C-alpha cells in the first residue's frame, strides 16, 4: 500500500554525527511536508517508479528485482540497509523476503521517518530497527548481517574505502553486499583494490543502462519546477537540489551505472551465518548476536 503523504513534519531529532547531517535532515523534513518531490521522481521513472518505496535515489522496479535476486537470503535472516534514508528499500525487501531488518543512516530525521514507516509495511518493531550511524562507523558487531544493500549511498561517504571495509566487517561469512556504483564509460573500475582490502570478492556486475537517462529526466524536472521547489521545500533544500542538478547534468552522457554484488568468503570450518561476533581484539568483543533484534 502507498504510505500517506505527511503534511506536517515531526520535530527533528538532534543532529547526526558531527552535524554533517544538516543538509539531509532539512531535505527529509521538507519532503515530509509535500508530495512534490515524489511526484517528480514518479514522472522521471514512469512505470518503473515503486510508489510504496518512495526512495530519494535511483531505486526503481528493475533494481528491486536485481537486489532480490542477488541477495538470495532465506526467511528470518538479517538484512542491513546501509544509508537507508527513510527506509523504503529495506522495508520492502524485508517484507518481500520475510527478513529481519537493520537500517542506519547519517540523518536522524530520516531514521525517525524510517521507523515510523514500519507500520505501512506491516512490519513489527522487533523485525526492523533503525539507528543513526556513518557508513564508516556503523556501531554494529562483527559478522552481524547475512546481507547488506547500499543504494546510492557509498558515493556520498567521506571515505569510500573505509566505508567498504566497515560494511565488509559487519557482513557474515558467506553473506553478500549489493551496492550501486557509477564510473565513467570506458574507465577501468576503481573498486577492485577496495574490495580486496575489505576481505570481499566480486560475484556479479550488473549493468543499469537506464539509470543515467533517469537522472537526466529527473534533474531537468527539478530545474523546470525550480519555483515550486523553493515554495514548497524552502530555500535551503531547493537550492541544494538545483545545485546538484546543474552540476551533475553535464556528467551524465559519460556515466556508466552498475550494481556490484560482493561476497564475504566462508572460512574453512565457519558456519557462514551471522550468529556470532568474530575478530579477536575487536572493540565489539565476542559472543552471540541476538537472533531477534539488532544490537544498537
pLDDT tens digits for range 135-146 = 999 999 999 999
DSSP 278: -
> In the chain, which ranges are continuous DSSP H helix?
22-31, 36-45, 61-71, 88-97, 108-116, 160-170, 192-197, 211-224, 226-233, 235-248
The CA distance from 155 to 292, in Å, is: 31
Is the pLDDT at 7 greater than 50, yes or no? Answer: no
Contacts of 129 (CB under 8 A, 6+ apart): 101, 102, 103, 115, 293, 294, 296
Identify the band that residue 268 occupies on the pLDDT scale cut at 50, 70 and 90: low
- 1 vs 149, residue with greater confidence: 149
Q: Does the pLDDT of residue 10 top 50, yes or no?
A: no
The pTM score is 0.84
Section 66-91 average pLDDT: 97
pLDDT of residue 279 exceeding 50: no
Amino acid at each position: 500500500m502507498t504510505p500517506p503523504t505527511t503534511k506536517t513534519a515531526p520535530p527533528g531529532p538532534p543532529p547526526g554525527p558531527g552535524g554533517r547531517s544538516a543538509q539531509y535532515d532539512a531535505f527529509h523534513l521538507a519532503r515530509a511536508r509535500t508530495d512534490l518531490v515524489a511526484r517528480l521522481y514518479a514522472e522521471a521513472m514512469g512505470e518503473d517508479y515503486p510508489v510504496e518505496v518512495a526512495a530519494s535515489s535511483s531505486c526503481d522496479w528493475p533494481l528491486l528485482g536485481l537486489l532480490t535476486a542477488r541477495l538470495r537470503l532465506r526467511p528470518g535472516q538479517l538484512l542491513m540497509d546501509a544509508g537507508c534514508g527513510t527506509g523504503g528499500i529495506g522495508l520492502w525487501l524485508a517484507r518481500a523476503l520475510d527478513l529481519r531488518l537493520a537500517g542506519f543512516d547519517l540523518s536522524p530525521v530520516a531514521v525517525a521517518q524510517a521507523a515510523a514507516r514500519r507500520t505501512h509495511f506491516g512490519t513489527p518493531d522487533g523485525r526492523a530497527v533503525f539507528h543513526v550511524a556513518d557508513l564508516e562507523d556503523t556501531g554494529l558487531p562483527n559478522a552481524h548481517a547475512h546481507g547488506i544493500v547500499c543504494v546510492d549511498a557509498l558515493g556520498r561517504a567521506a571515505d569510500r574505502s573505509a566505508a567498504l571495509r566497515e560494511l565488509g566487517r559487519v557482513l557474515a561469512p558467506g553473506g553478500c553486499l549489493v551496492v550501486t556504483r557509477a564510473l565513467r564509460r570506458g574507465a577501468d573500475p576503481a573498486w577492485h583494490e577496495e574490495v580486496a582490502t575489505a576481505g570481499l570478492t566480486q560475484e556479479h556486475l550488473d549493468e543499469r543502462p537506464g539509470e543515467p537517462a533517469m537522472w537526466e529526466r529527473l534533474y531537468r524536472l527539478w530545474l523546470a519546477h525550480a519555483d515550486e521547489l523553493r515554495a514548497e521545500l524552502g530555500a535551503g533544500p531547493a537550492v541544494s537540489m538545483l545545485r546538484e542538478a546543474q552540476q551533475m547534468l553535464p556528467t551524465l552522457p559519460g556515466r556508466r551505472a552498475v550494481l556490484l554484488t560482493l561476497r564475504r568468503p566462508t572460512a574453512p570450518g565457519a558456519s557462514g551465518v551471522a550468529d556470532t561476533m568474530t575478530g579477536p581484539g575487536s572493540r565489539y568483543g565476542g559472543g552471540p548476536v541476538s537472533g531477534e533484534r539488532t544490537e544498537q
